[in-house]
Amino acid sequence: MRRLFFVLFLLVLPASAMAGNAVLKKDGKSYTLNCSNAGCFIAERVSFFKSGPQKRLGAGGAANFEKWMKKLKSDGYK
């Protein structure tokens, strides 16, 4: 029973800390938007497994993820 609780705890812990992830495209390049409790970051995707340097956009959280998605889409990201 303890093991089951521990496994469920490990599965729930990262999910609660992550507010959102999205892949956006602009001018033929792909960008990733990552928001967690630590903040919202955007980075250019170099390949499937690599990203360029991250630029911090602001505070994190689910509400800020929606705000940044809306702002970036209005700036021409798809």
Segment 11-66, tens digit of pLDDT? 554 444 557 888 889 888 899 888 988 889 989 988 878 888 888 888 888 888 88
Retrieve residue 50's tokens.
């690599």
- Alpha carbon distances (Å) from 49 to 2, 52, 60, 78: 35, 11, 23, 21
For residue 49 the two structure tokens come to 């497994």
The separation between CA 11 and the C-alpha centre of its own chain, rounded to angstroms, equals: 18
pLDDT at 18: 57
The token duo for 48 is 């499937």
